[in-house]
Amino acid sequence: MGRVSLEGIEFHAYHGVFSEEKKLGNRFTVDIHVFTDFKKAMVEDDLKATVDYFRIYQIAKSHMQEPVKLLEHLAHLMIQDILVVYPSLRQIDVIIKKHNPALGGVVNYSVVEVSYPNDYD
């Protein structure tokens, strides 16, 4: 088994509960790790035998463009769409960071991490 990851994907998006977040938006960073068997891809040099991280990026980008209230829900939506494309994945970890959340003090970012299958049990 191996891991294919995209780390530090940056977006400006409008996710959040508060009206200011929905109007002004914020900077977000997304990390996605998918775990799969890619032995065939290693031997045969064939993209079809592994996970195409361009498709993973496209899924993340499409969900970042559709505002939701909770980052937990956003990560869940990404995982669901990744599983549609790659149903045989053994594990998916999605980490979403909201930079400088409006909490009334200095906070670098808030973080939500959702894992499939663990958080789906």
Residues with a known catalytic role = 98
Longest dimension (CA), the chain: 54
Please report the DSSP string for 32-100 in residue order. Answer: EEEEE--HHHHHH--GGGS--HHHHHHHHHHHHTS--S-HHHHHHHHHHHHHHH-TT-SEEEEEEEEES
- 83 Cα distance to chain centroid: 12
Distances in Å between the alpha carbon of 84 and those of 20, 77, 98?
33, 11, 26
d(CA 49, CA 60): 21
